[in-house]
Structure 1
Amino acid sequence: MKNKKKVVIGFIGTQLDSGKGSARWEKWRPTVALAQHEDVIIDRIDLLFSGHHDALVKQVTIDIGAVCPQTEVVPRQVAIDDPWDFEQVYGALYDFARDYPFDLEREEYWIHITTGTHVVQICLFLMTEAHYFPGRLLQTSPPRRHTPGAPGSLALIDLDLSKYNQIAQRFTREQQEGVAFLKSGIATRNPRFNAMIDEIERVAIKSRAPMLLMGPTGAGKSFLARRLYELKKARRQIDGRFVEINCATLHGDGAGSTLFGHVKGAFTGAAAERAGLLRSAAKGLLFLDEIGELGLDEQAMLLKAIEDKRFLPVGADQEVHSDFQLIAGTNRDLAQDVRHGRFREDLFARINLWTYELPGLAERREDIEPNIDYLLRAFGAEHGQMVRFNKEARDRYMRYALSPQARWTGNFRDLSASVMRMATLAEAGRVTSDIVDGEILRLRRLWQHDAEAPLPSASTPQDRALKRLLGGEAAQLDHFDAVQLQAVIDVCCRSASLSEAGRSLFAVSRQAKRQPNDADRLKKYLARFGLSWEAIRHFDAS
Structure 2
Amino acid sequence: MAQKAKTRRTVVIGMLGTTLDTGMGSQRWTRWRPTVSLCQQEDLLVHRLELLHPPQATSLAAVIRDDIAQVSPETQVRLTSLPIRDPWNLEETYGALLDHVLAQSFHPEEEDYLVHITTGTHIAQICMFLLVESRLIPGRLVQTSPGKGKEHGAVGTHAIIDLDLSNYDTLAARFRRRQREGLSFLKSGIDTHNAAFNRLIERIEQVAVQSRAPLLLTGPTGAGKSQLAKRIYALKKARNQVAGPFVDLNCATLRGDGAMSTLFGHVKGAFTGAVGDRPGLMRQANGGVLFLDEIGELGPDEQAMLLRALEDKRFLPVGADKEAESDFQLIAGTNRDLQLDVERGRFREDLLARINLWTFRLPALRERPEDIAPNLQYELDQASQALGTRVTMSKEAQEYFLRFATSPEARWSGNFRDLNAAVLRMSTLAAGGRMTREVVDEELDRLRSQWRPAGAAAASASEDVLAEVMGAARAAELDRFDRVQLADVVTVCRSARSLSDAGRTLFSQSRAQKKSVNDADRLRKYLARFGLAWTDVSGRDAE
Q: Which residue of 2 aligns with 1:467?
A: none
Q: Which residue of 2 aligns with 1:21?
A: 25
Residues in 2 aligned to 1:132 and 1:262: alpha-carbon distance in whole angstroms: 49
Q: CA deviation at 1:224?
A: 0.6
Residues in 1 aligned to 2:457 and 2:112: alpha-carbon distance in whole angstroms: 70
Q: CA deviation at 1:31?
A: 0.9
Q: Which residue of 2 aligns with 1:282?
A: 286
8 Å CA contact retained: 1:289, 1:328: yes
Match of 1:64 among 68, 71, 74: 68
Q: Which has the larger radius of gyration?
A: 2
Residues in 1 aligned to 2:255 and 2:104: alpha-carbon distance in whole angstroms: 58
Residues 1:79 and 2:84 aligned together: yes
8 Å CA contact retained: 1:137, 1:156: yes
Residues in 2 aligned to 1:279 and 1:5: alpha-carbon distance in whole angstroms: 58
Q: Which residue of 2 aligns with 1:354?
A: 358
Aligned pair in 2 of structure 1 residues 451, 287: CA closer, same or farther (>3 Å)? farther
Residues 1:238 and 2:242 aligned together: yes
Q: What SS does the corresponding residue of 2:208 show, helix, strand or coil?
A: helix
Q: What SS does the corresponding residue of 1:185 show, helix, strand or coil?
A: coil
Aligned pair in 2 of structure 1 residues 130, 316: CA closer, same or farther (>3 Å)? farther
Aligned pair in 2 of structure 1 residues 347, 383: CA closer, same or farther (>3 Å)? same
Q: Which residue of 2 aligns with 1:98?
A: 99
What is the 5 A alignment of 1:139-178? 139-147=143-151, 151-178=155-182
Q: Which residue of 1 aligns with 2:343?
A: 339
Deviates more, 1:34-43 or 1:424-433: 34-43
Q: Deviations over 1:31-78 (max 9, x none)?
A: 11233346512313223247x545433322332233345422314245
Deviates more, 1:273-282 or 1:444-453: 444-453
Residues in 2 aligned to 1:91 and 1:13: alpha-carbon distance in whole angstroms: 18
Q: Which residue of 1 aligns with 2:437?
A: 433
What is the 5 A alignment of 1:76-475? 76-81=81-86, 85=88, 88-100=89-101, 101-105=103-107, 109-131=113-135, 133-147=137-151, 151-448=155-452
Residues in 2 aligned to 1:312 and 1:112: alpha-carbon distance in whole angstroms: 52
8 Å CA contact retained: 2:40, 2:155: yes
Residues in 1 aligned to 2:457 and 2:247: alpha-carbon distance in whole angstroms: 34
Q: Give the percent of matched residue pairs that are identical in Structure 1 and Structure 2.
A: 55
Q: CA deviation at 1:79?
A: 3.0
Aligned pair in 2 of structure 1 residues 277, 166: CA closer, same or farther (>3 Å)? same
8 Å CA contact retained: 1:386, 1:429: yes
8 Å CA contact retained: 2:61, 2:79: no
What is the 5 A alignment of 1:480-491? none
Q: What SS does the corresponding residue of 2:432 show, helix, strand or coil?
A: coil
Aligned pair in 2 of structure 1 residues 441, 31: CA closer, same or farther (>3 Å)? same
Residues in 2 aligned to 1:305 and 1:364: alpha-carbon distance in whole angstroms: 37
8 Å CA contact retained: 1:18, 1:29: yes
Q: CA deviation at 1:215?
A: 0.8
Question: Match of 2:255, as an amino acid?
Answer: H
Residues in 1 aligned to 2:365 and 2:212: alpha-carbon distance in whole angstroms: 29
Structure 2 unaligned residues grouped into runs of 5+: 459-483, 486-543
Q: CA deviation at 1:80?
A: 4.5
8 Å CA contact retained: 1:140, 1:152: yes
Aligned pair in 2 of structure 1 residues 149, 410: CA closer, same or farther (>3 Å)? closer
Aligned pair in 2 of structure 1 residues 186, 453: CA closer, same or farther (>3 Å)? farther
Q: What SS does the corresponding residue of 2:359 show, helix, strand or coil?
A: strand
Structure 1 unaligned residues grouped into runs of 5+: 455-478, 481-542
8 Å CA contact retained: 1:259, 1:276: yes
Residues 1:45 and 2:50 aligned together: yes
8 Å CA contact retained: 1:375, 1:419: yes
Residues in 2 aligned to 1:75 and 1:149: alpha-carbon distance in whole angstroms: 28
Residues in 1 aligned to 2:100 and 2:23: alpha-carbon distance in whole angstroms: 32
Q: CA deviation at 1:110?
A: 2.6
Question: Match of 2:117, as an amino acid?
Answer: I
Q: CA deviation at 1:122?
A: 3.6
8 Å CA contact retained: 2:285, 2:326: yes
Q: What SS does the corresponding residue of 2:383 show, helix, strand or coil?
A: helix
8 Å CA contact retained: 2:213, 2:329: yes
Deviates more, 1:294-303 or 1:95-104: 95-104
Q: What SS does the corresponding residue of 1:147 show, helix, strand or coil?
A: helix
Question: Match of 2:198, as an amino acid?
Answer: N
8 Å CA contact retained: 1:362, 1:408: yes
8 Å CA contact retained: 1:98, 1:132: no
TM-score normalised over the length of structure 1: 0.77
Q: CA deviation at 1:120?
A: 3.9
Aligned pair in 2 of structure 1 residues 34, 318: CA closer, same or farther (>3 Å)? same
Q: CA deviation at 1:123?
A: 4.1
RMSD: 2.7
Question: Match of 2:439, as an amino acid?
Answer: I
8 Å CA contact retained: 2:93, 2:127: no
Q: CA deviation at 1:419?
A: 0.4
Q: Deviations over 1:99-124 (max 9, x none)?
A: 44221237654321112344443443
Residues in 2 aligned to 1:90 and 1:125: alpha-carbon distance in whole angstroms: 15
Residues in 2 aligned to 1:452 and 1:286: alpha-carbon distance in whole angstroms: 42
Q: What SS does the corresponding residue of 1:46 show, helix, strand or coil?
A: strand
Q: Deviations over 1:202-245 (max 9, x none)?
A: 11112211111111111111011111111111111111111111
8 Å CA contact retained: 1:288, 1:329: yes
Q: What SS does the corresponding residue of 2:237 show, helix, strand or coil?
A: helix
8 Å CA contact retained: 2:397, 2:437: yes
Report the number of matched residues: 451
Q: Which residue of 2 aligns with 1:532?
A: none
Aligned pair in 2 of structure 1 residues 124, 64: CA closer, same or farther (>3 Å)? same
Residues in 2 aligned to 1:383 and 1:320: alpha-carbon distance in whole angstroms: 45
Q: What SS does the corresponding residue of 1:251 show, helix, strand or coil?
A: coil
Residues in 1 aligned to 2:256 and 2:96: alpha-carbon distance in whole angstroms: 52
Q: CA deviation at 1:351?
A: 1.4
TM-score normalised over the length of structure 2: 0.77
Question: Match of 1:43, as an amino acid?
Answer: R
Residues in 2 aligned to 1:364 and 1:387: alpha-carbon distance in whole angstroms: 25
Question: Match of 2:194, as an amino acid?
Answer: N
Q: CA deviation at 1:175?
A: 0.9
What is the 5 A alignment of 1:460-539? none
Deviates more, 1:19-28 or 1:40-49: 40-49
Aligned pair in 2 of structure 1 residues 6, 321: CA closer, same or farther (>3 Å)? farther
Q: CA deviation at 1:380?
A: 2.0
Residues in 2 aligned to 1:239 and 1:281: alpha-carbon distance in whole angstroms: 10
Q: Which residue of 2 aligns with 1:468?
A: none
